[in-house]
Amino acid sequence: MSASNIEPDFETQRVRLLRPSWAELDYGAIAANLALAREMVGQATKIYFVCKGDGFGFGAAKVARLAAQAGVDGFCVGSPEEGMAIRNAGVDREILLFAATLPEDAAQVAALGLTVTIQSHESLRAFIDAGVSVDAFLEIDPGFGRFGFLPSQWQAAFEALRHQSTVRLKGVYTHLSSPESDDVTRTQADVFDAALADARAAGFDSLTTMLASSRVMLAHPHLAYRAVDPGRFLYGALDADWMARAPLRPMLRAVRGRIIHVQEHPAGSVLGIGYAEPIRLERAVRIGVVPIGFWDGLNHVPPLGRVLVHGQAARILGRRSFQHTVVDITENVRARTGSVVTLLGRDGDHAITIDELAASLRLPVMELIPRLARSLPHVDAGATDAGGHLRPVGPSKA
């Protein structure tokens, strides 16, 4: 699938990019990471792609279409809206809705054509009472302390599900709290295994069983069960120490903007750049303004990190504005209106990694990537040249 037919129409995109700041995406990353996941878990294990957070900010419908085309088995979503967005994009594979709704809305939720989560006796009762036929997965709490049946509770749930016909139990899943710990992971997987044994004893012997999110897949590949539910693995969006465990391809490749305004302020000027207390400049300062601000998923208060302009580092002055960043280009003689400013990604011989950016903004990679992805216009990373300049994009040929 080419980028042109999954992005907004050419005219919308053209107008958006007249404010020149954007995120560059690798549209082949999901398929490549999915192939790697397949290699790790084997052909017999299903892969459910977690598209919560509007597909990690990349757009649930967009990433689901890419993954469906690459052969994913199903999806997990964090809201009914995401599930509908994927359905409306023409994807007909199973979509599991993680716990997200009220018991009183069970009939409406059940009518959406998604597989629902039953995470408590209250939600079980609500879906049974709704009287609407629905496929369901039961969630087990392995010691996470959020959703799911406890060991003292699940037996009654399996019994209740066995004795009615509208709610069809298709799977049992869980989510672990501490994939970095072998001990905790073993203890929590044991809780899940006990639940599965009781499900079998209650007569449920062909359930989809699912436990492993991205970090569990990377650290505990033997816990693949009949299905896995990775999110970040498929976006290539984990912290560096986890990314180092497998050759994952990041979907977010770069964040850039172009300088729309240059001003030289002579020595002696009194300036409150970036909402700072005004100071008298001891030397002339040349500034460049990039139209990218905290509205675009970055942050306001320093530290703000550095940027690259013509392959050279430059600092950010003051605080970042709603829609602008002021860069000190005094030492960068090549910088001018139109110069590309790299906040994330490669520029010539230098690069700012997602880990550097996340560390300098004091945000976890997991928070930073969706913030950027959901805010900025998306362009195909293949459509930029080595200096980060956008090549003109033609209208979709489709």
Ligand X SMILES: *Cc1c(COP(=O)(O)O)cnc(C)c1O
46 binds ligand X (CB under 6 A): no
**Collapsing DSSP states into helix, strand and coil, what is residue 29?**
helix
Residue-by-residue DSSP string for 12-26 = HHHHHTTS-EEEEE-
Q: How near is the Cβ of 196 to ligand X at its closest, in Å?
A: 17
In the list 54, 82, 94, 229, the residue contacting ligand X (rule: CB under 6 A) is 229
Task: Report which of 41, 49, 43 is spatially closest to residue 82, judged by C-alpha positions.
Answer: 49
Alpha carbons 161 and 134: distance in angstroms, whole number: 12
Kindly report the CA angle at 63 between 213 and 58, in degrees rounded to 5?
A: 90
- Closest to ligand X by CB, 225 or 294: 225
Return the residue nearest ligand X (CB atom).
Answer: 231
Residue-by-residue DSSP string for 130-194 = HT--EEEEEEE-SS-SSSSB-TTTHHHHHHHHHT-SSEEEEEEEE--S-TT-HHHHHHHHHHHHH
Listed in sequence order, the DSSP H helices in the chain are 10-16, 29-41, 52-56, 60-69, 80-88, 106-110, 121-130, 154-162, 182-201, 214-219, 232-235, 240-243, 354-361, 365-375
Contact letters for ligand X, residues 77-116 (x by CB under 6 A): ---------------------x------------------
Tell me the number of residues near ligand X by CB under 6 A: 12
Q: How near is the Cβ of 329 to ligand X at its closest, in Å?
A: 38
In the list 46, 62, 65, 232, the residue contacting ligand X (rule: CB under 6 A) is 232
- HSE at residue 244, side-chain half, CA atoms within 13 A, is 4
Residue in the block written with tokens 């709610």? 167
Which residues, numbered 272-291, are part of the site for ligand X (CB under 6 A)?
none
Sign of the C-alpha dihedral computed for residues 165, 226, 212 and 297 taken in this order:
negative
In the list 62, 65, 87, 175, the residue contacting ligand X (rule: CB under 6 A) is 175
306 binds ligand X (CB under 6 A): no
In the list 33, 208, 213, 384, the residue contacting ligand X (rule: CB under 6 A) is 213
Q: How near is the Cβ of 84 to ligand X at its closest, in Å?
A: 19
Q: How near is the Cβ of 248 to ligand X at its closest, in Å?
A: 12
Q: How near is the Cβ of 335 to ligand X at its closest, in Å?
A: 38
Per CB under 6 A, which region of 156-164, 231-239, 256-264, 348-356 contacts ligand X?
231-239
Q: Summarize as ranges the residues that interact with ligand X (CB under 6 A).
A: 50, 52, 98, 175, 213-215, 229-233
